[in-house]
């Protein structure tokens, strides 16, 4: 058995004929991952998840962007609301609001959805196997949000080992790789990379409040604001919303 390792190098060499599916939430990281994959793979599709999250506006905007890019995009439904334990799936748990990006407390945030990315990657591996796809691209990163356990390099390595031993593709000598190119990058670095690839962030949303117009007080909005300030560029989402008279 080959030792599992995380495929996280930005200039990872991609054989010409490989096909990839991108885990596409519609946020900044997955939008960058989508454009990163388009610049490297022979064929790219996008896979989103309707898991009972309160911020479903991201799914509608994800569809708008993939249509503009003429990419195949599918949304799988897996209802995590009965699992509970997260402010993103349980309306009885309020989304915490803060005054600045320095306010969020240490420890596991209430916006963590139990094992969400593990569930997503398991479904993506099944999807990739049934569709004959080679790589699963995810925009995970931990530098700015280290409290989330299911975005870390060790987590990705563990899931890669599971895919290596638990899929029919592996038994036939075909490896489905999990590629996490930004896992050790700051969000502002991810933004700069995306801009160099021509990424369109005007349809990417981050707000945990479930609205297209950001609340500007949840941890996701504050992290996004800080990242664009560090990148030295105005957030294209805000530019679009102003043009449309929404803010």
- What is the extent of the structural domain holding 233? 19-243
Q: Is residue 2 part of a domain?
A: no
Integer Cα distance of 99 and 29 in angstroms: 23
Count how many domains the chain has: 1
- Structure confidence at residue 10 (pLDDT): 45
Percent of the chain with pLDDT over 90: 81
Residue 125 covered by a domain: yes
Beta-bridged to residue 73, according to DSSP, are 46
Task: Give, for 9, the enclosing helix (H) or strand (E).
Answer: none
Evaluate whether residue 10 is within a structural domain: no
pLDDT of 178 over the 70 cut: yes
CB atoms inside a 10 Å sphere around CB 116: 21
Contact 160, 8 (CB under 8 A): no
Q: How confident is the model at residue 211 (pLDDT cuts 50, 70, 90)?
A: confident
- Are 7 and 124 in contact, with CB atoms under 8 Å apart? no
**Residue 185 Cα to chain centre, angstroms:** 14
Mean per-residue pLDDT, 205-209 = 92
Q: What is the DSSP letter of 28?
A: H
Q: Does residue 173 register a pLDDT over 60?
A: yes
Q: Is the overall model pTM greater than 0.75, yes or no?
A: yes
**Do 48 and 25 meet the contact criterion of CB atoms below 8 Å apart?**
yes
Round to the nearest angstrom and report the end-to-end CA distance of the chain.
55
Q: What is the distance between the alpha carbons of residues 47 and 135, in angstroms, rounded to a whole number?
A: 12
What DSSP string describes 168-193?
HHHHTT-PPEEE-TTTTS-HHHHHHH
Residue 17's pLDDT band (cuts 50, 70, 90): confident
Tell me whether residue 138 is in a domain.
yes
Question: Edge-to-edge strand order for the sheet containing 43-50?
Answer: 72-77, 43-50, 19-23, 135-137, 177-179
Residue 229 within a domain:
yes
Does some domain include residue 87?
A: yes
Q: How many CA atoms lie within 13 A of 15 on its CB side?
A: 6
Output the average pLDDT for the chain. 91
In a domain, 169, yes or no: yes
Cα(212)–Cα(142) distance, rounded to whole angstroms?
25
Look up the CATH number of the domain holding residue 194.
3.40.50.620
Whether residue 14 is contained in a domain is answered as no
Q: Given pLDDT bands bounded at 50, 70 and 90, which one contains residue 145?
A: confident
For 65-122, write each residue's pLDDT tens digit: 999 999 999 999 999 999 999 999 999 999 999 877 655 556 899 999 999 999 999 9
């Amino acid at each position: 058995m080959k030792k599992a390792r995380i495929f996280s190098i930005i200039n990872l060499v991609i054989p010409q004929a490989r096909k990839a599916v991108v885990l596409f939430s519609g946020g900044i990281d997955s939008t960058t991952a989508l454009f990163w994959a388009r610049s490297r793979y022979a064929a790219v599709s996008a896979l989103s998840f309707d898991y009972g999250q309160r911020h479903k506006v991201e799914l509608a905007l994800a569809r708008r962007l993939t249509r503009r890019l003429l990419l195949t995009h599918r949304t799988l439904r897996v209802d995590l609301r009965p699992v509970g334990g997260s402010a993103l799936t349980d309306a009885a748990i309020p989304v915490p609001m803060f005054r600045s990006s320095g306010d969020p407390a240490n420890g596991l945030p209430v916006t963590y959805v139990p094992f969400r990315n593990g569930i997503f990657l398991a479904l993506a591996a099944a999807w990739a196997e049934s569709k004959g796809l080679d790589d699963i691209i995810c925009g995970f990163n931990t530098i700015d949000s280290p409290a989330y356990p299911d975005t870390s390099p060790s987590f990705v390595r563990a899931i890669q080992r599971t895919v290596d031993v638990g899929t029919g593709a592996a038994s036939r000598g075909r490896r489905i790789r999990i590629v996490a190119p930004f896992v050790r990058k700051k969000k502002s670095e991810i933004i700069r990379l995306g801009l160099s690839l021509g990424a369109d962030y005007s349809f990417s949303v981050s707000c945990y409040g479930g609205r297209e117009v950001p609340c500007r007080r949840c941890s996701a909005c504050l992290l996004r604001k800080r990242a664009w300030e560090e990148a030295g560029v105005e957030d294209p989402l805000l530019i679009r919303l102003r043009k449309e008279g929404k803010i």
